[in-house]
A and B are shown apart, each in its own frame.
Chain A
Amino acid sequence: MKVGFELHVTPLTESKMYCDCPTKNAQPNLQVCPICTGQPGSKPMAPNETALRAGIKLAKALNCTLNESVSVMRKHYFYPDLPNNYQLTSEPFGENGSFNNVGITEIHFEEDPGQYDPKSGLVDLNRSGSPLLEVVTEPDIDSIEKARDFLEEFSALLGFLGISQKIKADTNVSINGGARVEVKNIGSISGALNAIQYEVNRQAKEGAVLETRHYDKDTMTTKPARLKETVADYRYMREPNLPRPRASLQAKNGSTTYSTT
Chain B
Amino acid sequence: MTLKDRHGAFISLTDTPGELAVKDNICVQGFMCTASSKLLENYEPPYTATAVQKLQKQGLTVMGKTSCDEFACGSTGTHTSLANPRNPLDEKRVPGGSSSGSAIAVKDGLVRYAIGSDTGGSVRCPATFCQIVGYRPSYGQISRYGLMDMCMSFDTIGTLTRNVDDAIYLITGMSGKDDKDLTTMNSVDVKETPGLAGKRLVAFRQILESCDPGIREKFNEATEKAKLHVDVIDFPEIHKSIPTYYMIVFAEFASAMQRFDGKFFGKNRELLGQEVKRRILLGTFISQKENKDKWYTQAINARKWFQQKFEAMFAKYDFVINPTMPSPAPLVGEITDPITEYSMDLGTIFPSLMMGPSISLPYQGMGIQLTGKRFSDSALLYSARDLEGAL
A residues whose Cβ falls under 8 Å from a Cβ of B: 34-35, 37-46, 74, 76, 78, 80, 83-86, 233, 235, 237, 239-243, 258, 260
**Contact of B180 (CB < 8 Å), options: A40, A43, A85, A233:** A43
Interchain nearest-CB distance for B205 vs A (Å): 32
Q: Does B43 contact A (CB under 8 A)?
A: yes
Most chain B CB atoms below 10 A, which of A38, A43, A45, A235: A43
Q: How far is the CA of A241 from the CA of B183 in the complex (A)?
A: 7
Give every chain A residue within 8 A of B185 (Cβ-Cβ).
243, 260
Contact check, B182 vs A74: say whether CB atoms are below 8 A apart. no
Contact check, A41 vs B186: say whether CB atoms are below 8 A apart. no
Interface residues of B in 221-267 (CB under 8 A from A): 251-252, 254-255, 258-261, 263-265
Give every chain A residue within 8 A of B47 (Cβ-Cβ).
34, 39, 42
Contact check, B147 vs A237: say whether CB atoms are below 8 A apart. no
Q: Which residue of A lies closest to B254 (CB)?
A: A235
Q: How far is the CA of A46 from the CA of B181 in the complex (A)?
A: 9
Give every chain A residue within 8 A of B145 (Cβ-Cβ).
41-43
The 10 closest A-B pairs by CB, nearest first: A240-B152, A240-B153, A85-B258, A260-B185, A41-B146, A40-B148, A34-B47, A235-B287, A41-B148, A41-B27
Number of B residues, CB within 8 Å of A: 44
Contact check, A241 vs B46: say whether CB atoms are below 8 A apart. no
Interchain nearest-CB distance for B37 vs A (Å): 11
Interchain nearest-CB distance for A48 vs B (Å): 13
Give every chain A residue within 8 A of B186 (Cβ-Cβ).
260
Q: How far is the CA of A23 from the CA of B212 in the complex (A)?
A: 59
Give every chain B residue within 8 A of A237 (Cβ-Cβ).
251-252, 255, 287, 296
Interface residues of B in 167-194 (CB under 8 A from A): 179-183, 185-186
Contact check, A43 vs B255: say whether CB atoms are below 8 A apart. no
Contact check, B27 vs A45: say whether CB atoms are below 8 A apart. no
Q: How far is the CA of A241 from the CA of B144 in the complex (A)?
A: 9
Q: List 18 A-B contacts (CB under 8 A).
A: A34-B45, A35-B180, A37-B264, A40-B260, A41-B148, A42-B145, A76-B255, A84-B259, A235-B284, A235-B287, A237-B252, A237-B296, A240-B151, A241-B182, A242-B183, A243-B182, A243-B183, A260-B185
Contact check, B252 vs A260: say whether CB atoms are below 8 A apart. no
Beyond the given pairs A38-B264, A235-B255, A237-B252, 13 more chain A to chain B contacts, judged by CB atoms under 8 angstroms and listed by A's residue number, are A40-B27, A40-B35, A40-B45, A42-B47, A42-B146, A74-B255, A80-B263, A83-B264, A239-B152, A241-B152, A242-B183, A243-B185, A258-B182
Q: How far is the CA of A42 from the CA of B33 in the complex (A)?
A: 13
Q: How far is the CA of A39 from the CA of B260 in the complex (A)?
A: 10
B residues whose Cβ falls under 8 Å from a Cβ of A: 25-27, 33, 35, 40, 43, 45-47, 49, 140, 144-149, 151-153, 179-183, 185-186, 251-252, 254-255, 258-261, 263-265, 284, 287-289, 296
Q: How far is the CA of A176 from the CA of B186 in the complex (A)?
A: 56
Q: How far is the CA of A86 from the CA of B287 in the complex (A)?
A: 14
Give every chain A residue within 8 A of B146 (Cβ-Cβ).
41-42
Contact check, A242 vs B182: say whether CB atoms are below 8 A apart. yes
Q: How far is the CA of A242 from the CA of B140 in the complex (A)?
A: 11
Give every chain B residue within 8 A of A243 (Cβ-Cβ).
140, 182-183, 185
Give every chain B residue within 8 A of A258 (Cβ-Cβ).
182
Q: How far is the CA of A233 from the CA of B147 in the complex (A)?
A: 28
**Contact of A43 (CB < 8 Å), options: B43, B144, B287, B289:** B144
- The A interface, classified by DSSP as helix, strand, loop or mixed, is loop
Q: Which residue of B lies closest to A259 (CB)?
A: B185
Q: How far is the CA of A202 from the CA of B122 in the complex (A)?
A: 59
Interchain nearest-CB distance for B179 vs A (Å): 6
Q: How far is the CA of A37 from the CA of B183 in the complex (A)?
A: 21
Contact check, B26 vs A41: say whether CB atoms are below 8 A apart. yes
Given A34-B47, A233-B289, A260-B185: A40 touches B179 (CB 8 Å cut-off): no
Contact check, A41 vs B149: say whether CB atoms are below 8 A apart. yes
Interchain nearest-CB distance for B11 vs A (Å): 15
Q: How far is the CA of A35 from the CA of B358 in the complex (A)?
A: 30
Contact check, B43 vs A85: say whether CB atoms are below 8 A apart. no
Q: Which residue of B lies closest to A19 (CB)?
A: B180
Q: How far is the CA of A78 from the CA of B269 in the complex (A)?
A: 15
Q: How far is the CA of A83 from the CA of B149 in the complex (A)?
A: 15
Q: How far is the CA of A211 from the CA of B260 in the complex (A)?
A: 28
Interchain nearest-CB distance for A127 vs B (Å): 15
Most chain A CB atoms below 10 A, which of B33, B45, B258: B258
Most chain A CB atoms below 10 A, which of B148, B153, B264: B264
Contact check, B33 vs A40: say whether CB atoms are below 8 A apart. yes
Contact check, A86 vs B258: say whether CB atoms are below 8 A apart. yes
Q: How far is the CA of A258 from the CA of B284 in the complex (A)?
A: 30
Give every chain B residue within 8 A of A40 (Cβ-Cβ).
27, 33, 35, 40, 43, 45, 148-149, 259-260, 265
Q: Which residue of A lies closest to B25 (CB)?
A: A41
Give every chain A residue within 8 A of B296 (Cβ-Cβ).
237
Interchain nearest-CB distance for A38 vs B (Å): 6
Q: Which residue of A lies closest to B300 (CB)?
A: A238
Give every chain A residue within 8 A of B33 (Cβ-Cβ).
40-41
